[in-house]
Amino acid sequence: MSRRTELADAAITTLACEGMRGLTHRNVDRTAGLPQGSTSYYFPTRKALIEAVVERVTEVTVAVEPDLPTDLDELAVVIAGYVRELLTRGRDHQLACYELMLEATRRPELRELLTPASATIREMAADRLEAAGVTGSADRARDFVAFLDGLLLEQITGSGGRELDDAALRVTVRRMLTAVMS
């Protein structure tokens, strides 16, 4: 793993734990366990640091490309497993994404950074839905990604008043797939 990747991962962790205000070069150095100034050497500006976070989150998200079955029930199982992964080992990445998305509502320059990353994720979802035999995949992928984002946000924040176990998560994902496919 390169130093830049290590620092981008530390920035993601910092962002997930401290929020946008806590995303400083000094805090990333501390999270990475590196001497002060290390992050500034690789990412001299806050913008460069945020760009590295967006790039790394996108890279990690796109790298997870399971083979998707065409059977709806099997598809729900695979996607529910992916969601579970995002809620556990990928939690910091999800929190960092939500922090960035919320900040982008106030900072157009950040929105410009996030738009291509979001498009990449929707394109990946469209390709996967198309491979599973779903027609009109581009529009349906947009809906499905929005459904997944809502589900993930609800589960991460606890705002829905329910924590889904694996079986309930599969049922919820199955319902979302049915809604998108109809």
Alpha-carbon distance of 49 to 61, in angstroms, equals 18
The yes or no reply on domain 64-181 and CATH 1.10.3910 is no
Q: What pLDDT, on a 0 to 100 scale, did the predictor assign at position 180?
A: 85
**What number is the average pLDDT over the span 85-112?**
92
CB atoms closer than 10 angstroms to residue 125: 21
Residues in Cβ contact with 85 at an 8 Å cutoff, skipping those fewer than 6 apart: 64
5-26 pLDDT, tens per residue? 999 999 999 999 999 999 999 9
Q: 43 and 53 in contact (C-beta within 8 Å)? A: no
Average confidence (pLDDT) over 21-46: 97
CATH architecture entry for 1-52:
Orthogonal Bundle (1.10)
pLDDT reported for residue 138: 87
Kindly list the domain boundaries of the chain, sorted by start residue. Answer: 1-52, 64-181
Helix (H), strand (E) at residue 135? none
- Token digits for 38? 């290390």
Is the pLDDT at 177 greater than 90? The verdict is no
Cα 52–Cα 54–Cα 55 angle in degrees, nearest 5: 65
Beta-carbon contacts of 96 under 8 Å, excluding residues fewer than 6 positions away, are 12, 15, 16, 53, 57
pTM of the model: 0.85
pLDDT of residue 64: 64
Q: Which residues contact 134 (CB under 8 A, 6 or more apart)?
A: 140, 180, 181
User: Cα 123 to chain center, whole Å?
Assistant: 14
Close Cβ partners of 59 (under 8 Å, ≥ 6 residues apart): none
Calculate Rg over the CA atoms of the chain.
Answer: 17
Q: Which of 32, 46, 36 is nearest to 4 (CA)?
A: 32
C-beta separation of 101 from 152 below 8 A: no
Residues 69, 131: contact at Cβ < 8 Å?
no
3-state secondary structure of 36: coil
